[in-house]
Amino acid sequence: MAARPERPGPDVVRVSKRLSHVLRHRPDAVGLTPDDAGWVPVDDLLTALRLTRAELDEVVARNDKQRFAFDDTGTRIRASQGHSIPVHLGYVAAVPPDELFHGTVERFLAAIRAQGLRPGNRHAVHLSPDVDTARAVGARRGRPVVLRVDAAAVVRDGAVFTRSANGVWLVDAVPPRHLTEV
Ligand code: HQG
């Protein structure tokens, strides 16, 4: 198993938040135009955010969830998931484990019980491979509530799952009948 990355310092976190915002939601705010797959030229990003390549490399490498990825040549960068801008990430369909998890909070439960999981502003519903990760996702908003997703049943219904480069499972929606509270 790889060593746990050192806890990022405040500057790394600050730049990471900025990068998330720019690469997922508002590239236009700093004059960037990602291609269809969400990639932007690294040089343009460095200029736009006034970063050095070494600073960017450090933020990408130390990011706690490995949110950003360089392409094979290292000349382009994108967020691995979480976009609200239109992107085709190009992940191939994958068969998920039979169970996945979703972290949320109490105040969304009534709507989730009625409608199932919906993507909201993002392109897909984000599901976690384990309860602890889901709990951390839910805890961003308050006291976490974890839902178990019968992913095998969602697959049987015909839904297509993909897995992002940083291990998040993505699907269009999950109907309420395939959700149970952990
Ligand atoms: C809730 C973070 C009402 C859903 C995390 C969630 C994740 C509903 C919120 C990634 C609903 C959407 C994504 C329905 C779902 N009615 N509320 N029908 N269906 N919801 O942030 O999953 O740090 O778009 O439970 O770690 O919280 O950004 O999704 O609370 O991987 O890299 O609507 O974002 O990663 O919120 O988080 P989000 P999420 P990063």
CA 102 to ligand 1 centroid distance, Å: 8
Q: Is ligand 1 within 6 A of the CB of residue 126? A: yes
Q: Which domains, and CATH codes, for the chain?
A: 12-79 (1.10.10.970), 99-181 (3.20.170.30)
CA 104 to ligand 1 centroid distance, Å: 7
Q: Is ligand 1 within 6 A of the CB of residue 120? A: yes
**What is the pLDDT at residue 1?**
47
Smallest CA-to-CA distance from 93 within 162, 169, 167 is with 162
**What is the pLDDT at residue 21?**
98
Q: Is ligand 1 within 6 A of the CB of residue 104? A: yes
Q: Which SS3 state, helix, strand or coil, does residue 146 take?
A: strand
Smallest CA-to-CA distance from 42 within 28, 57, 30 is with 57
DSSP H or E run through 145: strand 144-150
179-181, strands of its sheet edge to edge: 99-105, 144-150, 179-181
Q: Which SS3 state, helix, strand or coil, does residue 39 take?
A: coil
Ligand 1 pocket mutation pick from 65, 66, 137 by most atoms within 8 angstroms of CB: 137
CA 140 to ligand 1 centroid distance, Å: 9
**What is the pLDDT at residue 56?**
96
CA 148 to ligand 1 centroid distance, Å: 15
Q: Is ligand 1 within 6 A of the CB of residue 108? A: yes
**What is the pLDDT at residue 3?**
54
Please report where in the chains the tokens 């049943």 appear, as a residue. 153
**What is the pLDDT at residue 93?**
94
Q: Is ligand 1 within 6 A of the CB of residue 123? A: no
Contact in structure between 151 and 157 (CB atoms under 8 Å)? no
Query: What span, in angstroms and rounded, lies between the C-alpha atoms of 63 and 16?
Result: 7
Ligand 1 atom closest to residue 79's alpha carbon, by position in its atom list:
32
The pLDDT averaged over each successive group of 10 residues in the chain (182 residues) is 58 95 97 98 97 95 94 97 94 96 98 97 95 97 98 97 96 98 96
